[in-house]
Amino acid sequence: MNILQILPELDVGGVETGTVDLAKELVKRGHRAIVVSNGGSMVKDLIAIGARHIKLPVHEKSLFSILKMIKKLGYLIKEEQVDLVHARSRVPAIIAFFAAKKANTPFITTAHGYYSTHLLSRVMGWGRYVIVASSIIGRHMMKDFGVPHERIRFIPRGADLEKFKFVGIDPSHHKTEYKIGVLGRITPIKGHSFFLQAIARVVRMFGKVKILIIGSPPKDRPEYQEDLRTLARKLKIERFVEFLGSRHDIPKIMSGLDLLVLPSVGQEAFGRVIIEAGASGVPVIATRIGGAVDIIEHGKTGLLVKPGDIMEMVDAIIKLLEDRELAKNLAIEARKKVESQYSLLRMSDETIKVYEEACNKKRILIIKIGAIGDVILSVPSLRAVRNAYPDAFISVLVGSESRRVLKKCPYVDELILYDRETKDRGIKGLMKIAGTVRQKNFDVSLDLQNNKASHIIAWLGAVPKRFGYGNNKLGFLLNEGLRFVKIGVGPVEEQFRVLKKAGINTIGVSKRLEIWPGKDDFQYVDSLLKDAWMSKDQALVGINIGSSWDTKRWPLKYHARLSDLLGGKDIRVVITGSDKEEAIASDIIKLARSKIINAVGRTNVTQLAALIKRCRVYITGDSAPMHLASSMGTDFIALFGPTDHKRHYESTDKGTVVQKKVNCGPCYKATCKKVVCMEKIGVDEVYKLVMERINANTRESNANTRE
């Protein structure tokens, strides 16, 4: 791989050290490592390990400079054939995000700090994956920046065990002077002033100490260090305290320490110096805050004290300076933990895995926010996508009423619910869902819905490649649009055209429909039929009386007449439909002389699928239950009127279509004074088809029994 890391500058610091360390491991493993920064004292270290440095002013915060750098970095990504861009700071991340997006190159971030929720900080959550070094930062990025859990990658920083050699402690050796170190940039959150106040008390109780403060203040805040010098003078401890500034020889300094203190009073992302001290055999005292809590097991690998509690800090320091046996044991256990959990080797392994995942594992969004039947028809497409990308993360944006269809679907990893009728209603709801899509950082969207809402969601969701039918319904928002052509193919083949446009092979992919009712669904159906005094030996025929349009419904008297004819053959009839058809169900039951089982409004979609499976034959109009019957492998008879079966019926040997030719149809009208197309489908004709199916099933069953 060819990896580009980008950060403001390469001066001494934890972020900078981690960048160089990772580049070293990348080069060692045969990858190319490029670092873009404004330069600094560590550039020579980077070049020495065989990595490449490119100097660009990516630290500048002016809008003009950022726009200029986006263009330059985009050119660089293409010119250097970069496989992945890894941003480690906010302004460089903004530049890298837009440059990588333009170059269609994966982009990831590492959240190195506990960022404020300022608009500028939000870019750190825009990566394909967001690497965090501690649980506190992981929770922060999810809660305050809305980064979904599946995009968080927890990778603690690692110490180079070749540099940080274990020295150890000899408890029998009493020194004339004990060196206590504080390493880190001099800023208020690092707690230096709190630490100096504690040291002022330590020196009165245990005078044999030397305090080494390693680190520098930010270039624009030199007064931070002067304030500390002034405080040391006021506390009359200036002769005990030495300010060493920024240093490159940290392993050497660490090996000479007797104790390391991390006195932070603000949230720390991790605390690299803790593991470097642990690797070197130096016992550590840290405040109980931020990433230190993840690393240190109090009393086993170090000591934790309350932030800002001067006396607790004093007691901890005195304890480890006087009890060198305890200090020795803490150091030994800390080294073991660093070797097993916080080595540079492990950090590099985990980071490279994230790189490979970002480069190779696609994130695919499939949009199907229509009715239940439409979602069932999308299952062959889901199967085809999974076959093409077995390792991809596949999400389906689905409507609230249809979510049960895909609840147990083995071809998808996630369902994103779009509740258009209630909580996601209107423009506000549309924008909310688009925001959710944008947070999930998809590579590709396959729009199988093809309406205005679906096009808007994919576009506002910032999906780079948006496939679908580029019709008149805002189809220009698709950048990989396909022209709809009336070629008389079935609904699944229409969807396959979108997949083919996206380079997905559909040849040989089954068009079989599927749904996945559970054991509890079948138990519910068994109970429902038992309550209706359904005999185990009786044949059961289902009739769907529901329909999204009144014009798709067979006349009520026909339902009643067919039920009576079947009842005369000792065949029980169960009628199905939604709770909207309960009044219609009552009318049919009144018209019929036979004892009809009424399941109208009493099943959800998976329970209905289980009920259809119990039927010998199922009769339905052009509606979702037709596709359920096909999914469950039940013989069914589909009655078509105002719609064209060529567009909505997916051919199967289990289904029989009945559609009468009329001068006015198919009209696709939801209302009609006289629905001639449905009235022309005679009861006797349907009855004959039902009996043929039942008799054929009986003969087949008997033949199987004899075998």
pLDDT digits (tens, 9 = 90+) for 106-142: 999 999 888 888 888 899 999 999 999 988 899 999 9
Amino acid at 553: R
Which domains, ranges and CATH numbers included, belong to the chain?
A: 2-154 (3.40.50.2000), 178-342 (3.40.50.2000), 361-501 (3.40.50.2000), 519-705 (3.40.50.2000)
Structure tokens at 656: 């029989």
pLDDT of the residue at 695: 86
Q: Provide the pLDDT for residue 271.
A: 79
Lowest average pLDDT, out of 86-95, 112-121, 377-386, 432-441, goes to 112-121
pLDDT value for 624: 87
Q: Which residue has the higher pLDDT, 14 or 379?
A: 379
152 vs 486, residue with greater confidence? 152
Q: Are 301 and 274 in contact (CB under 8 A)?
A: no
At residue 278, φ and ψ (nearest 5 deg) are: -60, -40
Whether residue 266 is predicted with pLDDT greater than 90 in this model: the reply is: no
Angle at 674 between CA 670 and CA 676, to 5 degrees: 95
Q: What is the pLDDT of residues 220-261, one digit of tens each?
A: 888 889 999 999 999 999 999 999 998 888 999 999 999 999
Q: Between the CA of residue 573 and those of 68, 158, 589, 598, 619, what are the distances in Å?
A: 73, 69, 11, 9, 10
Q: What is the pLDDT of residue 487?
A: 62
Task: Give the DSSP H/E element, type plus range, for residue 372.
Answer: helix 372-377
Report the alpha-carbon distance of residue 643 to residue 659 in Å, rounded: 9
